[in-house]
Amino acid sequence: GVRARIDRPAGVPVLLSVRGGAGSVELDGKQVGGTSGLALSTPGADKATDRISIEVTGGASRLKVGTLG
């Protein structure tokens, strides 16, 4: 299956949406398994004007979003 890792600078908030399903999703060390229709975010991401928005519409076996360094 498809595996993806996305790294961002520390302190940058993230909104993450998974629509197509994923076997495993990890956001900043917090792991969720067997997901579809999932929405996760880091603290303050919903109100931040500078943030990263990630939307996964296809399937993935593993998706990991974390920070650089």
Instruction: Give pLDDT tens digits for 17-67.
Output: 988 778 889 999 999 887 778 899 999 999 999 999 999 887 788 889 999
Burial code of 16-47, b = ≥16 C-beta within 10 A, e = fewer? bebeebbebbbbeeeeeeebeebebbbeebee
**Both structure tokens of 36:** 């579809």
Note the pTM of the prediction, 2 decimals. Answer: 0.83
HSE on the CB side for 64, CA within 13 Å?
A: 8
Nearest CA to 42 among 60, 30, 33? Answer: 30
